[in-house]
């Protein structure tokens, strides 16, 4: 029965992938056997990779990632981190500033001892049984093929490799003192690089984002039988392994010997992560008619509060998944695992590593299943589409959860505080994103979001730009096209492009088709430049019949404008001015407030005048964008209160 269900899942996922825009994808199938020695923190493995070249190109070489070679003194990651540490962010006017390096990395790699470094070496590699010429260049392995791979053909690579688990530095590793978790095994195997319509992507592991080929994994780990594992995929031999994975009522009979083999399969994913510790506590929750939720955590101090927090996380997953699927698309896998480990929060297919049970981080990493796991843009080139879209989604999921809990427990002041709405503030669910972006602008360190993730001059600019400015991209898109239209755009984007590696232009075409507007200008300005938005109410006058309001564009990024007008009789209306670029207008958003649509504002004009059929003395106040979704860098000149 399990085999039949798995086959059906593969067919379903394959059909989903095909029913979308016709952009070819390479395809992989990994079969791996790994034996871990927990006394030396080393393992050896074999990997059989079935590689399908679905492209129209002939391939004369291939590339693999060997991520753990970054955790060696004087590696690119080490040198880059230490160079960033020389930059002091916030220095000046007597302030010392803070080093711009990642606080988890700093100069730690330089000081790793031989038994603490990470490494990953391919000992042999064959294609269709023939040995190939390989060249290891730190975190990239180049394979010069003895025979090219022709278009639309499949080959099989066989390789043997060995590795040493690094002391926990960044994302993966062992013996993290913060968590006490023994092994966080991410980026742990030779992983073939992505080849897409832009060619090969042998991106060295310097700091951050990833890009991978979708395929199927069949992985066996042999490890000390006292260890409990969790991660990507479905455990095939659950009733033999036990540890909470077995079917209810099953008597677990583990084989004799010191080692236990764990057998996982994972369909249609682009990576595989696992973690292991002898003292993991394993929680299980079942979403009705949905996936199984696994939570594995280590309570090294036997803290009852930690038990409560991890159980709260497990329960919260059941509450938010229906909202996530309704808002962003169906989660297609049969399980998801929240696993204590890593160095913060890091997403992988069907799983995440979490340094703690915080709900915001957990929701964020789970939402990566959509914007990294299923949509899978090239994170190195479009980090804002990965981290930014995920940050936006996380904010809505968090707001939904706390609103749900506040209604369920109306006497709990903590939940009530989380759902307060104050229209005098920025959109509450993205308050930190807006305030972070404004801080970045004022710093003078902002860089265009078209910058490669590893090539930002500062970590500071990358982090705020990718996460905060990327999240604002979607909230502000709602301002341009209307929130309901933006929501339909996200659903259509998921429907058309999941499992297809979309780029920024692909997203914008979906947005244009759904909204009926031209929107390429928005990406050009917000993503491709550091130009800012700044509008003001410049002046008012009347001719005895009508009132005239002049607005001024002080910034260099043009936008459509909403102006809310309040009158003495307590009535209101919205003056809506489309931007010329749009060649269209958004639907009226507030049914209770009448809207007047004016001619489009041409971006070449620094000012714009519109007329209202009221005397000036009838007007109490004017406010540009009362919802504050537009990231106007100076809100002080957006509102005018008139005291007659």
Residue 586 burial by CB count (10 A; 0-12/13-18/19+): exposed, middle or buried? buried
> What pLDDT band is residue 297 in, cutting at 50, 70 and 90?
very high
Strands lying side by side in the sheet with 173-174: 173-174, 183-185, 274-277, 228-231
Handedness of CA 328, 330, 336, 342 (dihedral sign): negative
Between CA 393 and CA 387 the distance in angstroms is 10
Between CA 586 and CA 202 the distance in angstroms is 42
Between CA 163 and CA 70 the distance in angstroms is 12
Output the pLDDT for position 643.
86
DSSP 468: I
Output the pLDDT for position 417.
58
Smallest CA-to-CA distance from 379 within 520, 474, 270 is with 270
DSSP characters for 166-192?
A: PBSSBSBEE--TTT--SEEE-S-S-EE
Helix (H) or strand (E) holding 353, with range, is strand 351-354
Between CA 193 and CA 195 the distance in angstroms is 7
**7-45 residue pLDDT tens:** 444 444 444 444 457 799 999 999 999 999 999 999 999
Query: Partners of 164 in the beta sheet?
Result: 42, 119
Output the pLDDT for position 5.
43
Between CA 631 and CA 483 the distance in angstroms is 16
Residues, the chain, total? 644
Q: How far is CA 224 from the centre of its chain?
A: 34
Q: What is the CATH number of domain 535-641?
A: 2.60.40
DSSP 552: E
pLDDT at 423 over 50: no
**228-285 residue pLDDT tens:** 999 999 999 999 999 999 999 999 999 999 999 999 999 999 999 999 999 999 999 9
Between CA 191 and CA 143 the distance in angstroms is 13
**How large a percentage of the chain has pLDDT more than 90?**
90
pLDDT at 393 over 50: yes
DSSP characters for 192-215?
A: EPEEETTEEE----SSS------E
How would you classify the pairing of strands 234-235 and 259-269? antiparallel
Query: Partners of 200 in the beta sheet?
Result: 195
Look at 411-425, 517-531, 586-600 and tell me which has the smallest mean pLDDT: 411-425
**Is residue 77 within 8 Å of residue 173, measured between CB atoms?**
no
**Is residue 312 within 8 Å of residue 414, measured between CB atoms?**
no
Between CA 152 and CA 59 the distance in angstroms is 11
Residue ranges per domain, the chain?
398-526, 535-641
**316-352 residue pLDDT tens:** 999 999 999 999 999 999 999 999 999 999 999 999 9
Cα→Cα distances 84→77, 87, 102, 439, Å = 11, 5, 8, 20
DSSP characters for 243-273?
A: TT-SPTT----PPSSSEEEEEEEEEEES---
The dihedral formed by the CA atoms of 381, 377, 121 and 234, expressed in degrees to the nearest 10: 160
Query: Partners of 579 in the beta sheet?
Result: 601
**Is residue 244 within 8 Å of residue 139, measured between CB atoms?**
no
Handedness of CA 163, 168, 171, 173 (dihedral sign): positive
**439-488 residue pLDDT tens:** 999 999 999 999 999 999 999 999 999 999 999 999 999 999 999 999 99
Between CA 86 and CA 252 the distance in angstroms is 55
Strands lying side by side in the sheet with 561-567: 595-597, 572-577, 561-567, 619-624, 639-641
pTM, entire model: 0.94
> What pLDDT band is residue 96 in, cutting at 50, 70 and 90?
confident
DSSP 600: P
Between CA 337 and CA 266 the distance in angstroms is 13
């Amino acid at each position: 029965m399990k085999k039949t269900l798995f086959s059906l899942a593969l067919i379903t996922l394959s059909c989903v992938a095909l029913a979308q825009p016709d952009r070819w994808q390479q395809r992989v199938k990994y079969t791996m056997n790994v034996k871990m020695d927990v006394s030396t923190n080393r393992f050896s493995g074999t990997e059989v990779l079935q590689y399908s070249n679905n492209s129209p190109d002939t391939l004369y070489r291939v590339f693999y990632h060997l991520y753990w070679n970054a955790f060696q003194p004087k590696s690119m990651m080490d040198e880059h981190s230490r160079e960033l540490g020389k930059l002091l962010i916030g220095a000046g006017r007597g302030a010392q500033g803070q080093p711009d390096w990642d606080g988890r990395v700093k100069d730690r790699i330089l000081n790793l001892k031989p038994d603490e470094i990470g490494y990953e070496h391919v000992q042999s590699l064959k294609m269709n049984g023939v040995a190939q010429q390989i060249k290891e260049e730190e975190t990239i392995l180049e394979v010069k093929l003895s025979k090219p791979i022709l278009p639309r053909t499949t080959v099989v690579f066989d390789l043997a490799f060995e590795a040493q688990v690094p002391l926990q530095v960044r994302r993966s590793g062992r013996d993290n003192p913060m968590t006490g978790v023994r092994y966080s095994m991410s980026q742990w195997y030779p992983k073939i690089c992505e080849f897409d319509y832009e060619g090969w992507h042998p991106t060295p592991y310097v700091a951050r984002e990833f890009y991978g080929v979708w395929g199927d994994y069949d992985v066996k780990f042999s490890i000390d039988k006292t260890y409990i594992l969790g991660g990507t995929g479905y455990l095939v031999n659950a009733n033999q392994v036990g540890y909470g994975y077995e079917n209810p009522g099953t008597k677990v009979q583990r084989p004799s010997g010191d080692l236990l083999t764990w057998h996982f399969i994972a369909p249609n994913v682009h990576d595989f992560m696992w973690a292991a510790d002898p003292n993991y506590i394993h929680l299980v929750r079942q979403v009705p008619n949905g996936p199984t939720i696994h939570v594995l955590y280590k309570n090294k101090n036997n803290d009852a509060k930690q038990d409560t927090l991890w159980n709260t996380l497990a329960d919260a997953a059941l509450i938010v998944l229906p909202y996530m699927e309704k808002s962003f698309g169906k989660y297609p896998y049969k399980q998801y695992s929240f696993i204590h480990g890593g160095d913060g929060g890091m997403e992988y297919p069907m799983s995440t590593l979490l340094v703690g049970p915080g709900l915001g981080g957990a929701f964020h990493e789970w939402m990566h299943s959509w914007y990294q796991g299923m949509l899978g843009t090239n994170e190195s080139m479009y980090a804002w589409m990965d981290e930014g879209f995920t940050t936006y989604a996380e904010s809505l999921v968090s707001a939904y959860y706390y609103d749900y809990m506040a209604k369920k427990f109306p006497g709990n002041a903590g939940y009530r505080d989380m759902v307060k709405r104050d229209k005098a503030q920025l959109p509450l669910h993205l308050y930190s994103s807006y305030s972070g972006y404004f801080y970045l602008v004022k710093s003078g360190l902002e860089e265009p979001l078209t910058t490669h993730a590893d090539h930002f001059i500062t970590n500071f600019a990358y982090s705020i730009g990718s996460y905060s400015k990327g999240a604002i991209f979607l909230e502000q898109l709602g301002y341009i096209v209307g929130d309901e239209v933006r929501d339909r755009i996200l659903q259509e984007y998921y429907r058309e492009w999941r499992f297809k590696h979309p780029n920024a232009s692909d997203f914008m075409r979906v947005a244009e088709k759904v909204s009926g507007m031209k929107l390429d200008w928005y990406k050009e300005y917000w993503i491709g430049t550091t130009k800012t938005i700044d509008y003001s109410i410049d002046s008012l006058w009347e001719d005895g019949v009508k009132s005239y309001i002049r607005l001024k564009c002080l910034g260099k990024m043009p936008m459509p404008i909403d102006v809310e007008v309040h009158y003495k009789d307590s009535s209101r209306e919205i003056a809506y001015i489309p931007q010329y670029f749009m060649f269209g207008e958004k639907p009226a958003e507030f049914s209770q407030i009448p809207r007047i649509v004016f001619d489009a504002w041409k971006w070449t004009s620094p000012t714009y005048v519109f007329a209202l059929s009221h005397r000036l003395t009838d007007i109490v106040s004017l406010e540009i964008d009362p919802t504050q979704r537009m990231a106007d860098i100076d809100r002080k000149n957006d509102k005018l209160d008139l005291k007659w």
